[in-house]
Each structure stands twice: as C-alpha cells, then as structure tokens.
Amino acid sequence: MNKTYAVVGVVGAGAMGRGIAQIAAQAGSTVKLFDVQAGAAATARAAVLLQWDKLHEKGRLDAAELASRRALLAEAGALSALADCDLVIEAVVEKLDVKQALFAELETIVRPDTVLASNTSSLSITAIAARLQRPQRFAGYHFFNPVPLMKVVEVIGGLKTDPAVCDGLQRYARDMGHTPVLAQDTPGFIVNHAGRAYGTEALRIVGEGVADFATVDRILKDQVGFKLGPFELMDLTALDVSHPVMESVYRQYYDEPRYRPSVITAQRLAGGVVGKKVGEGFYRYHDGVAQVPGEPVAPQVADIPPVWVSPRAARRAELLQLLKDLGARIETGVSPSPQALTVVSPLGFDVTTVAVVERLDPARTIGIDMLVDDASTRRRVLATNPATRIDMREAAHALFARDGKAVSVVRDSGGFVTQRVVAAIVNIASDICQQRICTPRDLELAVTLGLGYPLGPLAMGDRYGPANVLEVLFNMQTVYGDPRYRPSPWLRRRGAIGLSLSHEEL
C-alpha cells in the first residue's frame, strides 16, 4: 500500500480529526491520534473501529485488512508521543492563537523534516506559521466533513511554504483516495470562497421581498438542478457555522461587496434559530423533517387574454413557440393591443425598467425568466412589477401552468432569482481564476466535489452563455447601483470575445 508518510499524527479528536485519522490509517499509515481532552482520543478511536467492524460484518472488509487497520490506529497519550511522525495534521478549534501555540510546541517535539499541516477552513496559513522557526515545512490541508465521504482536500501553501511540501501533501491525498486541489493562501481558499454567492445572493433576494425562503429554494433546485436550496443548505450546516464564515471572508477581503453578509442570518444567529440541529431555522423541523409551506396552486382563469411578446425578449423564438404550444392567442403587431397580456423576458433588468424603456403599459406587463431553456427546467418563473394588475398576474400564471409544469410568481427583481444567483456564482468563480488563487480545473473539481453543485461554476457559465451572464451582471449593476455586481475581468474578457470561461491565457 502506498505511504507517502509512514507515521502520521492527528491532533484533535472531533469529527474532523477522527475522519482524517480514519482515512490515513486506511491508506496504510501508522496513525497517532491526540486530543487535550481526556478520553476524547479513545472515544474517537473506538468510533472508527466500530465502523470497520461493521464493514467486516457486511463482508466489505476481510479479517486481515481489519486487523491491519486496527493495529495502525492508536491513541497518543501526550503531544510528545508524536515525536517520530513524518506528518502532523491539526484539526482543533478555529482560533489563530490556539493553532499558533500548538504548532510552536509541536516544532520543539518533532524532527526538523516533519511536515506540519493545519486543517483550518478560514484562517491564513501564513499567519498560523508566523511563529514557527521553519515555516517552509508548514501548509494548509483542508478536509471537508464527513471526511471519508467528501473526497476533496485543499492543499494551501503559505508565503514561505516549500512547494515540495505541497507536492507531498497532494500525493498523500491521493494515497487516501481523495482528490487534492492546490490553492493560494487567500480568504476561504477555494470552496468557501466560491460558495459565497449561493447563500448571500439568495439572502439579498429574500431581503428585498422578492420571494420567500421556500420559493427561492424551489426555483434554484428546479431551474438549475441544485440538490439543496440555499436555505435548506444553511439549515443543514447551521448558521452558527455558516454566518461566521460569511463575516470572516467579507472582513478578510476588506469589506468586498461581492461577499457582503446579511442581517437576516445575523439576527437569526442571535436568536438561536440556527437550523435543523435545533429544530428551527429557515424551516421548522419535526422529527428531523422540514415543514415546508405548501406551494400556491395555479389560478383558474376562464378567459386568458391575447399575448404580445416584446421584440427584445431573451429566447424570443423559443418563448413564442412555448406560448403556441400552451394554446395562447399570440398578437404579432408592433405594439400590444389594449387588452393584451404583455410578456417580457429580460436579462438582468427588472420588469419595471423594461416596461418604461419599451413604453409598455406596466399594469399589463409580466416578466418570465428565460435564462435557462424551457425544456431543461422543471419550473417557470414569472415576475410582476408594482403596477401589474391582479387579473394579468393570474392570467399569466394560469397560462404558463397549462401543461402542468410548476410556476412561481415573484415580485420584481433585477435578474429574477436564477439569473442573479447563477451570475453571482459565475462571477466570483471567474474572479478566483483572475486572482490566480487556483487553476480553472482545480476550481471546478473543488466546487463539484466540495459543494455538490450540478456543474462547476465555470461550466455553469459556459452552459448559460458567458455573454448572457455578462449582460445579467451589467444590467443588475445598472438596476441596483451596487459594485457587488461588477463583472470580473476574467468573465468580461472571455464573454466579450466568445471564449470558454475555463480558457487560460498563455
């Protein structure tokens, strides 16, 4: 069995440390597990042994391998017991002073060539190593929970880290059956950085009164294919974990608007409404099951008015064919008749702006999000404007639900829901590449494995069109006047000349 490091120390016997110790022993390394809390290492070791015993009982682990693994995983009674380790991985509390003190002590115990690594998710690798005599042998080694199942690990070099150390850690990740991705020492590294947009943009949508939590979750799952909506995800991870990360990345980037947190999560965290583990978050939980409010049913409308579609509508030909398939009476004049339901499908602009610019009657104007082609989505999303009449809203809802596809009707929003969340995700990912934090390949691997997105963010941008995403951002910046939506140069240049977002410069 491959062993890049024959003897590995793990400091911290919580869920993360326990998982790291498990996969290291499975890779054939002798593992010494230490925790300052009395009995914690023994409890963690027993939990891992129990998992292996169950695999043996199911016939998925033979007796010889079971005995080998059991012999490789041991408790360390003191930190000094790690003196002969080739690698020591720390998985303790996320406090800079605690980690600095731990590694300073370890440096007096281990050999000069022992590699030291931190599993930190949010602290600077350079800052942790600042008190070390040999910072060149120190690196970040960020696993994700649960470690045996989450098959990605971020390898992060600090300013003084020897590149050979990162090379060795990448090899060892592969020994353990994980996929390593190499990141620069920047706030959030890759996964926690790239993941900023999904939750924070959804929170802005709710904060603007565009839609409620459940509607936003439904839209992003049904239109884009996310496994969990952003509010379901935040309930699962819990706000006492996710909100501090939001604040940390925002502050470390000196209040960069793209990462701005939300007062919604701050207030809920203060009130203890943090998620599933306490039975209440964005949803209430009964026996661990989210109590999701029912979805409004499509209204029954006896006589749907004729429909006129803006000549500037995105995917206009596809929209006209859809309306034809739904049995709509379509007007073809240069302007709508006084009775017509007027349909627009902007990219980035809100319905109000389109109605004013195109001189349409806002009372009869409805928007539909056509960023995603209709055949690829399980849900259609309509948007009203402040002047839209109830009869026109209900007529549009009834019409677009005629074939049984789910329809959500939201209030006016630059970029609806899907456009603005997708554009924010693609934009932040593009800027990660622009900053050379990692390669496009490692970005896509890290996000798909670490966050479970249906596509990597660059592939997502390519699927919906870099030029379309760029138009959404430009127009949202006009609507909101917020630098949060300024396009990354990486996206702007590739979108302008028709290149894939994964394309690297020579």
Catalytic residues: 121, 142, 154, 192
Please list, in sequence order, all residues whose beta carbon lies within 8 angstroms of the beta carbon of residue 381, skipping any fewer than 6 positions away.
219, 223, 368, 369, 407, 408, 409, 410, 416, 417, 418
Please list, in sequence order, all residues whose beta carbon lies within 8 angstroms of the beta carbon of residue 460, skipping any fewer than 6 positions away.
224, 422, 425, 426, 453, 454
Q: Residue 330's beta-bridge partner residues?
A: 307
Residue 219, token pair as written in the block:
């839209």
Residue 314, token pair as written in the block:
């995105």
Q: Which residues of 36-48 are buried (b: 16+ CB within 10 A; e: fewer)?
A: eeeebbeebbeeb
Q: How many CA atoms lie within 13 A of 175 on its CB side?
A: 21
Cα torsion through 427, 431, 433, 437, rounded to 10? -130
How many secondary structure helices (H) and strands (E) does the chain include?
20, 16
Cα 380 from chain centre: 23
Residue 76, token pair as written in the block:
């360390």
Amino acid at 240: D
Please list, in sequence order, all residues whose beta carbon lies within 8 angstroms of the beta carbon of residue 330, skipping any fewer than 6 positions away.
306, 307, 308, 309, 320, 323, 324
Q: How many CA atoms lie within 13 A of 283 on its CB side?
A: 25
Q: What angle do CA 10, 15, 20 make, to 5 degrees?
A: 40
Say how far apart CA 287 and CA 280 lie, in whole Å: 11
In angstroms, the Cα distances linking 495 to 466, 498, 503 are 5, 5, 11
The CA R_g of the chain, rounded to the nearest whole Å, is: 26
Please list, in sequence order, all residues whose beta carbon lies within 8 angstroms of the beta carbon of residue 20, skipping any fewer than 6 positions away.
10, 89, 91, 119, 143, 147
In angstroms, the Cα distances linking 198 to 285, 421, 431 are 23, 6, 15
Asked if residues 380 and 400 have their Cβ atoms less than 8 Å apart, the reply is: yes
